[in-house]
Structure 1
Amino acid sequence: MTDDLHADPAPGSAPRPHGPDEMRALSAPRRLSVDDHMFTVPGLSATFRLQLFTADGARPVAVATQIAGAEGMSLMNGAERFAGAVWERHCPAEDQPPVWVERQLWSEPSHQETRFRRVAFADSDRYRPRGPKWSVITHDQLQDLVGTPVAADRGDGYAPRAAEPEPLLVFEEFAVVRLARPAPFREPECMPAGVNGWRRWLSQVVPRRGGARTCCWYHGGDWHRVNAMALQVLHRARAQSVGPDDMEELATAHAAETGATRWENEALASLFSISDAIQPSSGTGYINGQHRAQAMMETGVRRTVVLRYVDEP
């Protein structure tokens, strides 16, 4: 996903979210008042490390760190609920949620980068922030913001979840028209309301190809070409008995062999990433992947690859 850049504000206007003026306005010497290595949110199957930095007269800064794929709901998918829970539990008297910074730790190899990201919310009711927008912040910028060192790791207090019987992972071909209607809440400007039934069927009859856009990463390339490669990778994996954990590496190698662009390589790898693949869910529509699903539906992609968990026979 790309980071949006905004024009500088007019003289005398309020500092823009994510901008240097806003960061300077928020900067203050704070102290580490909470370092909870296993922060949990009631009702959610998720954990993360919470570092909360506070000072009198300064807005609290919360830094959430999580191991991707190992701690339940991801920081990105749970941003509003996680920030709201920290706000309610640790700084309930504040009129705004804490300044929220997240760091998702990705294992190697992965097409995702491990970076600090500032999450600014468009608005909020009491303990319910809404409209998150992400931007990259460096470790040095974060430490300048809080005025004290910030840990970048998961911490010694991390306790991996108790081992449970592992379901079988299966990558399989799937009809895009069978995917649930997306509710894309991360890119409201170019994905305002999902794809309804008649638009989905029309795009299947008259697919739209090419035409990469600059609005966001999800619209940044040709999903028809990527999914054609994905089906080739799937058939190749079956012929070579490649396991699910090695599918992303196989996809990356296939992309290199076919002269794929950087975006195509990233998109193809995402479809075969254990932690980032499209995962349909009968209960919620999607465990992961609704933005990619919407981009595919808009252009009439007919077949894609999804990840499913099945019980061992």
Structure 2
Amino acid sequence: MTDDLPQGPAPAPVSPAGPDEMRPPAMPRRLALDEPMFTAPGLPGTFRLQLFTADGARAVAVATQIAGEEGMGLTNGAEQYAGAVWERHCPDQEVPPVWVERQLWPEGSRQEVRFQRVVFAGADGYRPNGPRWRAITHEELQDLAGAPVATDRAGYVPRPAEPEPRLVFEEFAVARLGRPRPFREPGCMPAGVRWWRRWTRQVLPRRGARTCCWYHGGDWHTVSAMALDVLQRARAQGVEADDVEELAVAYAAAVGATGWETEALATLFNLADAIQPDSETGYINGQHRSQALLEAGVRRTVVLRHVYER
């Protein structure tokens, strides 16, 4: 949050969702707010906010966003977005609202569209921390909210048209990637990757998988080598950026890639999910994959750039 905002309550633990929390309150919640273009101070990005409240009960907030919508995505901005809703709409509650998010992916995408309940480990002021994602069905969510929950992104108003950038996939030195933030996963992202550690890994690379999460679940050396080959083929064939993912998946099948390698390769060429470095904030997308690449000592990979023609 920005420095000029009022101070929040004292740090408070936020209990994981248990039977009591998921049980509807004695007085049913009602839809108190449906804001189609919620924005948080100092944060790029918008989403549809449905807020369900009842006296004496924890509020339930449902955030819906289109994948690729302008600004920060729901996953990357979970702590900031939930904190902004907490501070603005239910500042007297000791814990943030029950936070549920829904990312709408385009038809044909490999990503699954579903509601996800975000459970925070704690909070510092109005800033929740330690998010964990759990699937929740539409029926479970409506029982919890006590009222119908819309599933679409009604009311979305795109920003005024600006000069369209040209989307370009390009080869990038991994050691030049920014320091990933925030560090949500103690086992995966304890404190970013410091400069001495990333250069050490360049000399002494590490291969293999870890069991902590999907992002560390395979060999990024192999995937990045495949990505560089796909990039070269795409350029030689004149394939546009929005068609390179399809080329990558076909390439993975041709070389006998594993399921994890195919999925990881596809993410590097997905326009809504590719690693996108940003000079001001560090990343538009791709922090956790960058963490895994840096820790493994991968030397070069593929990132997505927005190039504005002069």
**TM > 0.5:** yes
**Correspondences of 1:223-262 after superposition (within 5 Å):** 223-262=220-259
The 2-side partners of 1:180 and 1:132 are apart by 22
Paired with 2:235 and 2:69, the residues of 1 have a C-alpha distance of: 27
Query: Who is 2:207 aligned against?
Result: 209
Q: Which residue of 2 aligns with 1:8?
A: none
Q: How many residues align?
A: 298
C-alpha contact (below 8 Å) 2:87/2:126 kept by paired residues:
yes
1:172 match = 170
2:96 paired residue number: 97
Alpha-carbon offset, residue 108 of structure 1? 2.8
Q: 1:222 to 1:184 in 2, by over 3 A?
A: farther
Q: What are the ranges of 5 or more consecutive residues in structure 2 without an aligned counterpart? A: 1-13
Give TM-score scaled by structure 2 length: 0.90
Letter in 1 for 2:200: L
Unaligned runs of 5+ in 1: 1-14
Identical pairs, percent: 72
Structure 1 residues 306, 27: closer, same or farther in 2, change over 3 A? farther
Residue of structure 1 equivalent to 2:3: none
Distance 1:256-1:184 versus aligned 2 partners, 3 A rule: farther
Q: Is residue 310 of structure 1 aligned with residue 297 of structure 2? A: no
**CA–CA distance in 2 between the matches of 1:263 and 1:200?**
24
Structure 1 residue identity aligned to 2:288: H
Looking at structure 2, the residues matched to 58 and 100 of structure 1 have their Cα atoms a distance apart, in angstroms, of 14
Q: Distance in 2 between matches of 1:183 and 1:24?
A: 34
Letter in 2 for 1:312: E
CA change 1:86–1:312 in 2 (3 A) is same
Shift of 1:26: 6.7
Residue equivalent to 1:126 = 125
Contact 2:101–2:117 (8 Å) recurs in 1: yes
Q: Deviations over 1:258-300 (max 9, x none)?
A: 2222211111111111111111222222222121111111111
- 1:188 corresponds to which letter in structure 2? P
Asked if the contact 2:120/2:128 (under 8 Å) is kept, the reply is yes
* 2:188 maps to which of 187, 190, 201: 190
| Deviation string, structure 1 residues 37-63 (Cα, Å, up to 9, x no partner) | 111122222111110011112110000
Report deviation, 1:182.
2.2
Q: Distance in 2 between matches of 1:28 and 1:289?
A: 42
* DSSP-derived class of the 2:199 partner: helix
CA separation of 1:43 and 1:181: change in aligned 2, threshold 3 A: closer
Q: Report what 2:219 is aligned to.
A: 222
Using the TM superposition, give the Cα deviation of residue 21 of structure 1 relative to its aligned residue in structure 2, in angstroms: 5.6
